[in-house]
């Protein structure tokens, strides 16, 4: 450990969900990945990730959801292995416990947030051998959303998601997030994007300008997700949820990631709570959240 570092052996990190304020697929790359241009925002909805150091090289994991893998398939385990493989620390193993609150397969980056939280926790527990950019680079080897989830906040993400530009924080607002009971296949949507001529793209530059001037209405008027071009017509919950949010007073609404979660942005807490209450009568995963600022790594 660095001189003066606290000799702690266990730490709990909050793993914040992400929302896509806008999402554009610019092109398909020669390596098979896609060139993306996304404005991303972390929100207060979060998982809790507790990491305890071990010295025997063992990495164990447990979660409150029985159906999640508790082996090398879990991104949190991959993150721990990558951290130890890329740092010279006295510890070589960890016990990881994850309490999930972010819905799974929702386009909210729950798994990526957990992986990033493991990286942050291990970095702190071992005396911070890596800085923010090094943690983001390490995260990029694990998944496209992990670099952003390392520090979060409000960012423009380009490339596969690893080229990050810090932006002015969003104005104060309330997100109402609802996830339908079904999930959307990410590979299937990317295949459809490749095969079709996309008619609409988000006004990313307009969103960036509105963020810079802290114009919440301007941001909301320009929110768009290119994957909404290629959604299957049934089930129709996504347009249904968007309509309910707008009817309840949302300034704008959009699907996040490849779905299936949808969120609306409100500047009135009472309207947001009414929207949450109405949606909760039809869907089990409905949340209120606020913008989460960038983490100090």
Q: Looking at residue 277, which CATH number applies to its domain?
A: 3.30.70.890
Could you list the residue range(s) of the whole structural domain that residue 43 is in?
10-166
Task: Based on the fold, state whether residues 122 and 145 are members of the same structural domain.
Answer: yes
Q: What is the CATH number of the domain that holds 59?
A: 3.30.230.10
pLDDT digits (tens, 9 = 90+) for 25-40: 988 888 878 899 999 9
> 145, 179, 242, 271: which one is catalytic?
145
For residues 272 and 173, the answer to whether their CB atoms sit within 8 Å is no
Query: Which residue of the set 18, 100, 179, 271 is catalytic?
Result: 18
How confident is the model over 180-200, as a mean pLDDT?
83
The number of domains in the chain is 2
- Residue 241's pLDDT is what? 98
pLDDT (mean) for 120-132: 97
Instruction: Give the burial class of 165: count Cβ atoms within 10 A of its Cβ; 0-12 exposed, 13-18 middle, 19 or more buried.
Output: exposed
Give the residue from 112, 146, 166 where a domain finishes. 166
Q: Would you say residue 5 has pLDDT above 70?
A: no
What CA–CA distance (Å, rounded) separates 9 from 285?
Answer: 34
Mean pLDDT of 206-219: 98
Dihedral (C-alpha) 242, 253, 20, 66: value to the nearest 10 degrees?
A: -40
Q: Is the domain of 36 the same as that of 182?
A: no
95 is catalytic: no
Say if residues 119 and 131 touch (Cβ distance below 8 Å). no
CB 64: neighbour CB atoms within 10 A? 12
Residue 294 within any structural domain of the chain: no
User: What's the pLDDT at 4?
Assistant: 39
Q: Which run of H or E residues covers position 96?
A: strand 93-99
Q: Tell me, yes or no, if 145 is annotated catalytic.
A: yes
Mark which of 140, 166, 192 sits at the end of a domain.
Answer: 166
Kind and range of the H or E run holding 149: helix 146-151
Q: Is residue 5 part of a domain?
A: no
Q: Do both 189 and 136 map to the same domain?
A: no
Residue 202 lies in a domain: yes
pLDDT of residue 159: 95
For residues 109 and 236, state if they share a domain: no
Report the percent of the chain where pLDDT is more than 90: 82
Higher pLDDT residue, 164 or 191?
Answer: 164
């Amino acid at each position: 450990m660095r001189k003066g570092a606290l000799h702690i052996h266990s730490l709990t990190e909050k793993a914040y969900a992400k929302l896509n304020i806008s999402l554009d697929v610019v092109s398909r790359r020669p390596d098979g990945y896609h060139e993306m241009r996304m404005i991303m925002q972390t929100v207060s909805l979060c998982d809790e990730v507790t990491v305890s150091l071990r010295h025997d090289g063992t990495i164990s994991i447990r979660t409150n959801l029985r159906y999640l893998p508790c082996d090398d398939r879990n991104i949190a385990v991959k993150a721990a292995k990558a951290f130890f493989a890329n740092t010279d620390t006295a510890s070589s193993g960890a016990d990881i416990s994850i309490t999930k609150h972010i819905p799974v397969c929702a386009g909210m980056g729950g798994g990526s947030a957990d992986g990033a939280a493991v990286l942050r926790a291990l970095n702190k527990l071992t005396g911070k051998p890596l800085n923010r950019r090094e943690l983001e680079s390490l995260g990029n080897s694990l998944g496209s959303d992990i670099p952003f989830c390392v520090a979060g906040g409000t960012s423009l993400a380009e490339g596969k998601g690893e080229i990050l530009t810090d932006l002015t924080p969003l104005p104060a607002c309330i997100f109402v997030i609802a996830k339908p009971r079904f999930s959307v296949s990410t590979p299937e949507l990317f295949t459809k994007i490749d095969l079709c001529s996309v008619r609409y793209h988000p006004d990313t530059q307009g969103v960036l300008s509105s963020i810079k001037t802290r114009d919440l209405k301007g941001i909301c008027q320009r929110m768009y997700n290119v994957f909404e071009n290629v959604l299957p017509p049934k089930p129709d919950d996504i347009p249904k949820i968007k309509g309910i949010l707008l009817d309840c007073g949302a300034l704008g609404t959009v699907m996040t990631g490849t779905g299936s979660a949808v969120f609306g942005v409100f500047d009135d807490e009472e309207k947001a709570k009414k929207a949450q209450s109405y949606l909760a009568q039809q869907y089990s995963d409905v949340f209120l959240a606020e913008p989460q600022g960038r983490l100090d790594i």
